[in-house]
Amino acid sequence: MLKYSFVGDEERVATDLKAFYNETRFNELIVATDIHDQEKRRDSYTRLKKAWDHIDF
């Protein structure tokens, strides 16, 4: 299940997501986190969105 995981700042996650996309050509991405604190989880998803916005598909 953890074959692919993306950890780091927005730039690192964007780089890793782009590499993952180039390898798999996914058309859907399901994101899961085990952060139980709602505010921290929301921050994590916000940071993921910022990383996503840096990727040129």
In this predicted structure, what is the pLDDT of residue 39? Answer: 97
The chain-wide mean pLDDT, for the chain, equals: 92
Mean pLDDT of 28-42: 93
Q: How far apart are the first and last CA of the chain?
A: 25
In this predicted structure, what is the pLDDT of residue 2? Answer: 64
In this predicted structure, what is the pLDDT of residue 3? Answer: 80
Query: Which of 50, 56, 57 shows the shortest CA–CA distance to 27?
Result: 57
In this predicted structure, what is the pLDDT of residue 46? Answer: 95
Q: Which two tokens stand for residue 53?
A: 């916005």
- If one compares 50 and 4, the residue with the highest pLDDT of the two is 50
Separation of CA 9 from chain center: 10
Query: Which of 42, 10, 48, 46 shows the shortest CA–CA distance to 29?
Result: 48
Distance in angstroms (rounded) separating the CA atoms of residues 34 and 2? 13
